[in-house]
Structure 1
């Protein structure tokens, strides 16, 4: 679909080479980028492709396609930035963000998920070009089409999109007023986080291949047959019987013949392979999520896990802040200009603390013990319909009486809990210094 001020991204011609990638190719592409960065301030060449990262994108995509661990890390990251975690809100005079429910509904759906993924991928790949079409879906009233333009055809520093990868003409200038309304170039001005993970994953891929060859050679047990006969024919016959026993499950030997199965213990060579693989997985998770334990790694003790959870939350907060800035500075102004959303609103992630179910239950137990929580909040958080909150005392019983025991005390708490909360036994007489001790 094309409209005025857009080009058909489906007509872009790209070359995909994502198999048999090597570290040497990665080094060559980094050298190419270094040469461009060295001369970009000295040249004003027009009509020449300089910032071509197509082959670097091939390396990034190859690692993402062929390594299960980094795919799981990216899925974990996306699980923390998508969903009902964000809103469109307006800040009131007290500095509190008030959610606009109607406008927030317009930015929830598959097309806005594409926008947020594209923004996060800008940190991973180094850049993203978003195409936002002004059309709306007549059934849902939401944006009908949002696309991430093929990165192999985008020259991010030159702000140009070429129709054919590696060929200058025809092209589209993203700085022109014609395309500025519908296209958003998010350029982090570096090679992205994948530039650090790619050499590690390429090394891991060859390590795994060598590990498989090693296991084929040394991983199978050896069957050792012993016979007292000095005759080569008898020895060959025993060897053949042992070989056939793998299929037939039956072997008959002489009284003095012996058969032993010898397995290899884990050697230093095998430890080298497994250590390299674990090291790469740890480094990739630490770089993207800030914590390997959040990507499935095991920690030795509970305190370590909690420390990693804190680091993980801080890293997710950085991603969310980056998304908020791009949305408020680049995306929302264009959507307002298209008439899709009302002006004066900000894109904001909720301040809800991310925690596991056990910690969430403990938190709600603490809150409901001291504050009255609406039934709607409990249903929204846990999906459970509840009635009236029974552990909330009336306002009259909030102050200690002269007799020490309130008429509204329904004996819900044990004597021990009552003492821990109020600092005196249930039936003791406590002077009320607020109301006057003599009353």
Structure 2
């Protein structure tokens, strides 16, 4: 019966069961935990950090609950998504063992699972150590042609992130329940090729430093809302000439139905005084604190503020801030390149991908507009005889229009192509 099964499935099943006492992979063995959303405090963050760093506990469950809570902040989410999405949009190439580009092999990574893989890798900068699993392969093979040869492989369907609270990176283990101290090893030689680690085992991530700022922003928003509820909307009150229980009940019902502003009913010789801020614009103290917190988060995630937050700045300042943002992006690209070449590709080869000896390379080629390309070709025509087929392919012009023409005539055709109206979509 084993001879009827795909070889790669037998290998995965045997390896995962041999390396895990409970049997199965992490994604199958973890018992999910129900987590209710609630507000967190700075004291809870401090306690969570102490638990994560305690050498006798090393449990990050509470810390990740804090992280997930502050990631509801729109500014923080946008900043992190910006770094992730910019990297997901970058082009890349796969170079073969002989150093030549292999577009057919690059197509193996032009998939949704690789896009999600990029997100998990970059988010490890924010969350700290992250563990990915590479055991979810298709049951049927696919065939691709590379250099005239037909090659088969079993494609990955997904590369899930192992639930962070269930991972003990310092020990190299994952646990079934979040409060377990020991569990199967994902670094065991029998299974290590089916797991990939991003980030250092002791790293708590950038969110460790951002949490106090994010919580301060949340407190400021709460205080501002409370200020608006109590003082921004005019207070209403009624003074009765004499005590009357029925009339008082009726007035209370009327005031309650008039809206959400504060109200009160007072008897003779009773009064209420509302203390207001001496400033004419007390909202600024809340707004300035919110803006300050947003800028601090921008500095931590992007390294600058001018390209992420509203504000005036000179052109020279904009250039400097843009250069800092590009420096962060370049660091992310290098980090991803190391992860792919040193960890992902060897594991893909192990599970049957035809990528032995290949290398993941960033594609920095520039895409020029037709107008810019034509200017370059006009200069080249002064010194070289350009192949008519090149002109036909580059500008989508019929070969019959170009073949046999002089360079001057080709130049005229190119100039007409620039002025050619674009088809309406």
2: CA distance between counterparts of 1:337 and 1:176?
Answer: 15
SS in 2 for 1:144: strand
Superposed CA deviations along residues 379-421 of structure 1, whole A, max 9, x for unmatched, are xxxxxx6789x9xxx9867xxxxxxxxx9996x99xxxxxxxx
Partner of 1:308: 321
Larger RCO: 1 or 2 (CA < 8 Å, sep 6+): 2
Is it true that 1:285 corresponds to 2:303 in the alignment? Answer: no
1: CA distance between counterparts of 2:411 and 2:107?
Answer: 45
Is it true that 1:24 corresponds to 2:16 in the alignment? Answer: no
Q: Residues 218, 134 of structure 1: CA spacing in aligned structure 2 closer, same or farther, 3 A cutoff?
A: closer
Partner of 1:3: 13
2: CA distance between counterparts of 1:120 and 1:267?
Answer: 45
2: CA distance between counterparts of 1:153 and 1:222?
Answer: 51
Is it true that 1:70 corresponds to 2:76 in the alignment? Answer: yes
Further displaced range: 11-20 or 306-315: 11-20
SS in 2 for 1:294: coil
Identify unmatched segments of 5+ residues in structure 2: 1-8, 17-23, 143-153, 242-254, 260-276, 379-389, 416-425
Q: Which residue among 216, 220, 223 is the counterpart of 1:207?
A: 220
Instruction: Check whether the contact 1:14–1:152 (CA below 8 A) recurs between aligned residues.
Output: no
Q: Which residue among 181, 192, 199 is the counterpart of 2:193?
A: 181
Shift of 1:331: 0.9
Q: Residues 157, 364 of structure 1: CA spacing in aligned structure 2 closer, same or farther, 3 A cutoff?
A: farther
1: CA distance between counterparts of 2:327 and 2:185?
Answer: 37
1: CA distance between counterparts of 2:376 and 2:347?
Answer: 46
Describe how 1:400-411 pairs up with structure 2 within 5 A. Answer: none
Instruction: Check whether the contact 1:132–1:183 (CA below 8 A) recurs between aligned residues.
Output: yes
Is it true that 1:325 corresponds to 2:325 in the alignment? Answer: no
Is it true that 1:51 corresponds to 2:88 in the alignment? Answer: no
Shift of 1:137: 6.3
Further displaced range: 141-150 or 116-125: 141-150
The alignment yields a C-alpha RMSD, in angstroms, of: 4.0
2: CA distance between counterparts of 1:271 and 1:63?
Answer: 24
2: CA distance between counterparts of 1:60 and 1:387?
Answer: 58
Describe how 1:86-235 pairs up with structure 2 within 5 A. Answer: 86-90=92-96, 98-133=100-135, 135-136=137-138, 138=140, 142-169=155-182, 171-188=183-200, 189-220=202-233
Partner of 2:268: none
Instruction: Check whether the contact 1:137–1:144 (CA below 8 A) recurs between aligned residues.
Output: no
SS in 1 for 2:14: coil
Q: Residues 291, 297 of structure 1: CA spacing in aligned structure 2 closer, same or farther, 3 A cutoff?
A: farther
Shift of 1:132: 0.1
Shift of 1:296: 4.7
Shift of 1:78: 1.9
Is it true that 1:13 corresponds to 2:64 in the alignment? Answer: no
Instruction: Check whether the contact 2:84–2:118 (CA below 8 A) recurs between aligned residues.
Output: no
Identify unmatched segments of 5+ residues in structure 1: 37-48, 224-231, 233-242, 248-263, 354-359, 379-384, 398-406, 414-439
Is it true that 1:337 corresponds to 2:339 in the alignment? Answer: no
Shift of 1:317: 1.0
* Count of residue pairs the alignment pairs up: 341
Q: Residues 106, 173 of structure 1: CA spacing in aligned structure 2 closer, same or farther, 3 A cutoff?
A: same
Larger Rg: 1
